Amino acid sequence: MSSLSDRGLALVTGGAGFIATNVADRLLRDGWRVRLYDNLSRPGVDRNVTWLRAAHAHRGPSAIELVKADIRDAAAVDRAVIGVDRVFHFAAQVAVTTSLTRPMLDFDVNARGTLNLLEAVRGLHHPPPLLFTSTNKVYGHLEDLRLRLTGKRYEPEDAEIALNGVGESQPLNFHSPYGCSKGAADQYVLDYARTFGLPAAVFRMSCIYGPHQCGTEDQGWVAHFTRQVLQRAPLTLYGDGCQVRDALFIDDLVEAMLLALEQMDRISGQAFNIGGGPLRTTSLLELLDTLSELVDWRPTYHLERWRRADQRYYVSDTSRFQDATGWSPRVTLAEGLSRLAGWLVDPRKVPMNDNAQVAS
């Protein structure tokens, strides 16, 4: 058995997903017990649970609890929050394309599911701190952002945004059913902090990538691109390939999340843009260039028309969260891609987070 002290119980909804697996791994290494809440509906995520149990078998069977249930099941959510000391809410329908074809499902999972969780937490005698992952899609298509095409990327004409990225002062403009459902959930979390005093905060996330990501064309595109290139498989790019995102490696995100929970008394009721920021940007075409250098092979691709709700440019201004907590990203895009590629080649070898602190 491990000598790690028991620091408490963390509830992780969507607990078998990409971000959740990395958060749970860090929590377990820091001495927490975790309750993973997931309906296991996404193909392949059950392997993440298997990996977590194997990696932390030394903690004993009580360290990881899997609750196989749906976030839309209010009674199951009520039971899941009992006895927890912190909550990470990741359970979601995550694809814009799915929201366009199944908007009712998208709403039920993202909006109603989040309300189920908020009500369950509100009903506790001592509500634990809660962190919710929202999306940059709450800012819509950013039609008012004037862009110029420079080489293989779009760049904003506004000098301040070009330097710092998009800040939280950007007006909300929900676009696509996914943007509406996540935006509604985003606002419910902030209002429950304001109206009911729940200790809760929101991360409006940009592009996150790293080990344990089952990336597709619709979501997790950095992992999808990397896997396709490693397999020498062709790619489909929607639009012209010059659209720009800021990419944040998962270890840096986990560190931000732990800081947010630790400092919830100071940041509760606030939303923060979280991503790699201006120093970690890439266009789709530039990412292919970077990956071709990594594997010494030039990937092939073809272009399809723009998809609804695609943003040509989104880069997070993370200064508000940095000022509040002292957090800043550490992993460069080149290093992160190398680590992701290493995991895709051999999933058994997952590098330890250099920031991890193991309780004694």
Position 111: which residue type? Answer: A
178 in active site:
yes
d(CA 275, CA 246): 6
Give the active site residue among 154, 178, 209, 314: 178
Q: How far is CA 322 from CA 144, 246, 256, 270, 318, in A?
A: 26, 16, 9, 13, 6
**Would you place residue 94 in the very low, low, confident or very high pLDDT band (cuts 50, 70, 90)?**
confident
Is pLDDT larger for residue 317 or for residue 7?
A: 317
Percentage of the chain beyond pLDDT 90 is: 83
**Amino acid at site 110:** N
Look up tokens 């990470």; give the residue.
88
Residue 3: the pLDDT is: 42
Q: What is the pLDDT of residue 1?
A: 38
Average pLDDT for residues 300-316, to the nearest whole number? 90
* Spatial distance between the Cα atoms of 322 and 318, rounded to a whole number of angstroms: 6
- Residues 120-136 have a mean pLDDT of 97
Q: Quote helix, strand, coil % in the chain, to nearest 5.
A: 40, 20, 40
Report the run of H or E that residue 351 belongs to, with start and end: none
Strands 86-89 and 9-13: parallel
User: 147-150 and 153-156 as β-strands: parallel, antiparallel, unpaired?
Assistant: antiparallel
Helix, strand or coil for residue 187? helix
Helices (H), the chain: 18-29, 46-55, 74-80, 96-101, 103-107, 113-122, 159-164, 176-196, 221-230, 250-262, 264-267, 284-295, 319-325, 333-345
pLDDT in tens, 252-303: 999 999 999 999 999 999 999 999 999 999 999 999 999 999 888 888 999 9
For 42-90, the pLDDT digits (tens) are 888 899 999 999 999 999 999 999 999 999 999 999 999 999 999 999 9
pLDDT of 333 reads 96
Average pLDDT, the chain: 92
Measured between alpha carbons, how far is 179 from 110 in angstroms, rounded to an integer? Answer: 10
Q: Is the dihedral of CA 47, 337, 288, 144 positive or negative?
A: positive
The share of the chain scoring above pLDDT 70, in percent, equals: 94
More confident residue, 116 or 6: 116
pLDDT at 42: 85
**What are the C-alpha distances in Å from 351 to residues 312, 331, 336, 346, 347?**
33, 13, 11, 11, 10
Q: What is the pLDDT of residue 6?
A: 82
**pLDDT in the model for residue 352:** 39
Phi (first) and psi of residue 267, to 5 degrees: -110, 0
Of the chain, the end-to-end C-alpha distance in Å amounts to: 13
Give the integer Cα–Cα distance in Å for 52 and 28: 9
Find out if CATH 3.40.50.1370 is the number for domain 9-345.
no
The whole-number pLDDT of residue 51 equals 95
Mean pLDDT value across residues 301-320: 92
**pLDDT 10s digits, 194-226:** 999 999 999 999 999 999 987 776 678 899 999
- Of residues 166 and 309, more confidence is placed in 166
